[in-house]
Amino acid sequence: MTKRPRSTSPALDSPAMKKSKEDAQFLPNKIATAKNAANVDASPPVFQLLDTVHTGVKNLAKGDCVVYWMRMEDMRIRDNRALAQASAQARKGGVPLIALFVLSPQDYIAHDRSPRRIDFTLRNLKCIKDDLARLNVPLYTVSHTPRTKIPDFVHDLMLQWKASHVFGNIEYEVDELRRDLALCRIAKKQGKVACTFVHDKCIVPPGDVRTKEGKGYTVYSPFLRSWAPVLEKAGSHHLDEAPLPQANDSSVHQHAVFGKFFKMEVPNGVEGFTMDPEERDHISTFWPAGEGAAHEMLSRFLNTAARSSQFGAVDPLTKGAKQVDPIKQSRLGKYKDARDRMDSDTTSRLSPYLAAGIVSARACVREALAASSKKKLDVSRDTGVGRWIQELAWRDFYTHIVALFPRVSMGRPFQEKYAGVRWETNAAHLQAWKEGRTGVPIVDAAMRQARTMGWMHNRARMIAAMYLVKDLMIDWRLGEQYFMETLIDGDLASNNGGWQWSASTGVDPAPYFRIFNPYTQSQKTDPGGEYIRHFVPELAKVRGEEVHKPPPALADKLGYPRPLVNHDEARKRAIHRYKNIGEE
C-alpha cells in the first residue's frame, strides 16, 4: 500500500502520524501527483510481477527446503493456494516445508495499520504456529526494518536455509507488489531461488474479467455480469478448494537449523502497536482468533437466526444461537431484506477474517451455496444467498480496482475531475466525528461502535463516511486513514472503495448529489433506536422519534452535543462545491 495523506492538525495525535527524520526515509509521499499516478496505472505492477515470476529461475538444484511466505492477508492453512503449492513442491523434492512470516513495523506505520489489526495478526499467528506444528511444519516469525530492505532480507534467509523455492500469495497494493517484484529480480540475478507468487485473495483474480476493450471494469453491474459466468463456466476451478499441506517427516524436529524454529515464540506485540491489556481482552472476546472460530461464525451466519442480543459489543460465538431453515429463516436467508438493520446481528461479521485471510472468500461461496441447497451460482438480488455473494463480488471488484488502477492506493481519487473539490480544514469537527460527538445519534453510535469494537456495521460505515464527506465537507482521505487506524478489518481495497463511493470520487460512486439524510437513514436502519441506545449512553432512556434527532433542550439536559451542522444547509454546500470544483 502507499500512504494516505496526513493532516497537519494537532488534533490528530496518533503515534503513527508523528514523522521524524528517520520516518522520512521510509514513509511515502502523502498524495502522488496525477502524472506519477497515471504512469503507474499505465503499467500495473501486478502484471509486471506475474511476468517476472513466469520468466524466473528454472531447473534448480534440490535444496534443503521449500518456503511458504505467509502475509497479513492469507493467515490460514485451509484452502490456501500458495501454501498448497509450496507443500506439493516440498513433497516432490523430498525436503521439508518451512513457513515464514515477516513482521514489518515500518509498513504498519506507513499503511496506518491499527494496533487492533496487529494484535489480531499476532493472535492468529499463534494459532497457525500450533496448527502447523501438528504437521511438523515450523513457523519462523521475524521482525525486520527497514521495510525497503525486506526483499534482500528474505532472499538472504533463503540462501541461509538453502531453500530452492519460495511461494507466496499476491498482495495487490502497490508497495507490496513492488516488494515482491524486487525479490523476484534479486533471485533471478542470483539464480539460486525460484519465486512463485499466485492469486488467492479474490474469487476471480484481477485480469480474468475485462471489458470488450480489454480493460478492467470500473462499474460494478457489468463487472458482476462478467464475473458470475466465469465461475459458472464448464471446467472453471475458481471455486475449487486448495489441498491441505502435507505433513513433514518428524525428523525435521532434529534438523540443526529448522528444528530450532519450533521453539521460537510468536511475539505478543509490536512496538508502537501495543494495546492496553483490558482493551486487548475485550477485542479478543469480540474477535476470537483462529480458523475454527472463523468457520464457526460462518456456519452460524448460514444456519442460525439473528438475535438482537448479538448486534453489539459481545462474543459472536455466545451460546444460544437457534438452528433454523438456512434458506428462509437464517441470517443468510433473510440477508436480502435485513442486511441494513443495525439492531440485530443480521450480517456475518466475517470482515476481519476475510481481510486477514483466516477464511477464504471461495469457502464462503461454496458453503453459502451448499447451505441454500443451490447447485448453481446465485447472484440475484431476490435471495439472501444471492445478495451475500454479491457482497463477496464487491470485495473482488474493489480488489481488481486496486490491482488494475493502482493510483487509488496512491492517495488519488479515481475520478480526477474531483481532485480539486474544496474541503474544510476544521480539526474540531474531524475530532468530534472520530469521538462520536457530532450531535447526530446514528453517526455517533457508528463511530463509538468503531472505538469500542474495532468494527462497524457496513451500513453504519456508509452513513458515517458520507456524513464526514458531504455534511462536514472533510477530505475523504482523512476518514479513510482513521478507519485504517481504528478498525480490525482494515483492507485498503474495500476501505478505499467504500470511502471513494461515499465521496463520489471513485468507481461506480454515489452521484455527488446523492447525500444520505442521516436522520432518515437512522429511522430505516435502527427504527426502534436500540443500536443508538446501546452505543450512545446519553440517549439510553430516550424513546420514540427523539432518539433519532433529539430536540436541543433534551440534548442539553442529557449532556448530548447539538449537531455540528444543519444537514439541509450542509447538503446545499456539498452540491455547490462538487458542481463548482474549487469554489467555496
Closest CA to 348 of 389, 315, 394, 302: 302
Catalytic residue among 161, 287, 499, 501: 499
Q: How many helices (H) and strands (E) does the chain have?
A: 24, 5
Question: If we measure between CA atoms, which residue out of 534, 552, 553, 570 comes closest to residue 444?
Answer: 534
**Active-site residue (options: 241, 279, 423, 546):** 423
Residues 584, 421: Cα–Cα separation, whole Å: 9
Cβ(232)–Cβ(379) below 8 Å: no
Active site residue 423: yes
The CA–CA distances, whole Å, from 159 to 99, 239, 566 equal 15, 35, 63
Using the Cα atoms of residue 189, residue 193, residue 194 and residue 196 in order, give the sign of their dihedral: negative
Give the separation between CA 410 and CA 357, rounded to whole angstroms.
Answer: 23
**Separation of alpha carbons 171 and 390, rounded Å:** 22
Cβ atoms of 444 and 437 closer than 8 Å: yes
Q: Please state whether beta strands 97-103 and 194-198 pair in parallel, antiparallel, or not at all (unpaired).
A: unpaired
The kind and range of the H/E element at 371 are helix 361-371
Q: Which one is catalytic: 279, 458, 517, 546?
A: 458
Active site residue 476: yes
The reply to whether 545 belongs to the active site is no
Among residues 391, 424, 426, 517, which one is catalytic?
391
CA–CA separation, 577 and 423 (whole Å):
9
Residue 455 bears catalytic tag: no
Q: Does the annotation count 287 as an active-site position? A: no
Instruction: Pick the closest to residue 498 from 577, 395, 579 (CA basis).
Output: 395
Residue corresponding to grid cell 501438528: 134
Q: Where are the beta strands (DSSP E) in 29-169?
A: 65-70, 97-103, 139-143, 163-169
Residue 197 φ/ψ, nearest 5 degrees: -120, 130
Q: Are 31 and 412 in contact (CB under 8 A)?
A: yes
Distance in angstroms (rounded) separating the CA atoms of residues 341 and 337: 9
* Sheet bearing 65-70, strands edge to edge: 139-143, 97-103, 65-70, 163-169, 194-198
State which amino acid sits at residue 382: D
Rounded distance, CA 570 to CA 541, Å?
29
Q: Which of 69, 227, 476, 501 is catalytic?
A: 476
Residue 458 designated active-site: yes
Which residues form the catalytic set? 391, 394, 423, 458, 476, 499
